[in-house]
Structure 1
Amino acid sequence: MKQSTNCRNHRWQRGVAAVELAIILPILLMLLTVPFYFGRAFWPYTVAEKAAHDAARYLSSIPVTEMKSQARIAAIVDVARQIYDQEVAELNPGMFPPTPTITCGNFTCDGISVPDTVRVAVRMRVFDNFAGTSNSEYKDEEGGIVLTADVTLPYVGK
């Protein structure tokens, strides 16, 4: 008598896992798309932010004698741009690579005065064909998502 009860309960349990999977799977897939989407958006931002930070860190540690030399300041700023460009090159920016804006204090680096801060800022456009029009409120007129990385560090080369 006991065997027939177990056999009947076993038949009722068949397919329950498949039904649970059919109910849970769409919810899990929707929950996983959000981190993947934000990962695709934040990866270029993180790379640009780190590149800007490294370029600003280089500029902030330049000795004061070189920072006041008008003959050397253009080469120093060019090295900071090269640091940024090499780190952003992994993004494969295509035809419109982002170019950083480098300032010493509130002005461009001119070699006349010693700045209190150095700043590397970049505004870049990221194109995301995967999301389609779901993020249209964040897109600019050319269809890209505009990200801004801005790093300001104190000048410690004094």
Structure 2
Amino acid sequence: MRKRLLTRSSATRGSVAIEFAFVLPILLLLLSTLVFFGRIVWHYTVAEKAAQDAVKFLARVSTEEIRAPMNGFEIPVAGLARSIVLDEVAELSPGDSPPSVNVLCDGIFCDGFSTPRQISVVVRVNMTDPFLSSFLTQWGLPSEILLTATSSTNYVGG
């Protein structure tokens, strides 16, 4: 009777190993998909928070600063808001291209000619996944995903 139980358990162990070999690729695919979409959400959340912080900063600057003489093509505080965003998204690994930050006053670039009613910051980040990029390109999908976060508020002045 003992021989029969031992034989049965060794046969069961073999079938469990075969079942595990069939299920393992599916589990790995599900896990990698969850991690991939988790990274997308993380990148977008960081970009959106950075845009919100820059908009909060710009909404509170004084009227003199928002109408300061132009430095190149934009007011100096817009460059400061841009650096706030770039500092906050520096922890991300956005891929080959750096993040793009646009500071808008009433829908156009903040040029200092008028006091804006609404301020917006648009952050664009390319997210590249180091693990799945080769898999995505094999299936004809883009290896980079463009994430765009926009935050707007009314200008209150300071």
TM-score, structure 1 as length reference: 0.72
How far apart are 1:93 and its partner, in Å?
Answer: 5.0
Rg: which structure is higher? Answer: 1
Tell me the percent identity: 38
What does the per-residue CA deviation read over 1:54-75, in whole Å, with 9 as the maximum and x for residues that have no partner? 11121122234433x3238822
Q: Does 1:152 align with 2:141?
A: no
The change in CA–CA distance for 1:21 and 1:92 in structure 2 (over 3 A counts) is closer
The structural deviation recorded for 1:108 is 2.2
Is residue 2:85 matched to residue 1:84? yes
| 3-state SS of 1:100 partner | strand
Map 1:1-158 → 2, pairs under 5 A:
4=1, 8-9=4-5, 11-14=7-10, 15=13, 17-67=16-66, 69-71=67-69, 74-93=75-94, 96-128=97-129, 130-132=132-134, 133-134=137-138, 136-137=140-141, 139=142, 144-157=144-157
* 1:135/1:66 CA distance change after superposition, 3 Å: farther
Aligned residues: 149
Indicate the larger mover: 111-120 or 38-47.
38-47
Letter in 1 for 2:79: D
Tell me, what secondary structure is at the counterpart of 2:153? strand
Aligned-pair RMSD on alpha carbons? 3.0
Q: Deviations along 1:112-142, whole A, 9 cap, x unmatched?
A: 43322211113333344533215644x3xxx
Range that drifts further, 12-21 or 50-59: 12-21
Where structure 1 has 5 or more consecutive residues not aligned to the other structure, the ranges are none
The offset of 1:109, in angstroms, is 1.8
Change (3 A) 1:92 1:30: closer
Gaps of 5+ in 2: none
Q: Summarize the Cα distance change of 1:27–1:144 in structure 2 as closer, same or farther, 3 Å threshold.
A: closer
Cα pair distance change 1:125/1:134, threshold 3 Å: same
Q: Equivalents in 2 of 1:95, 1:26: separation in Å?
A: 30
Deviates more, 1:20-29 or 1:51-60: 20-29
TM-score between both structures, scaled by the size of structure 2: 0.72
Q: Which amino acid aligns with 1:150?
A: T
* TM superposition shift of 1:46: 3.0
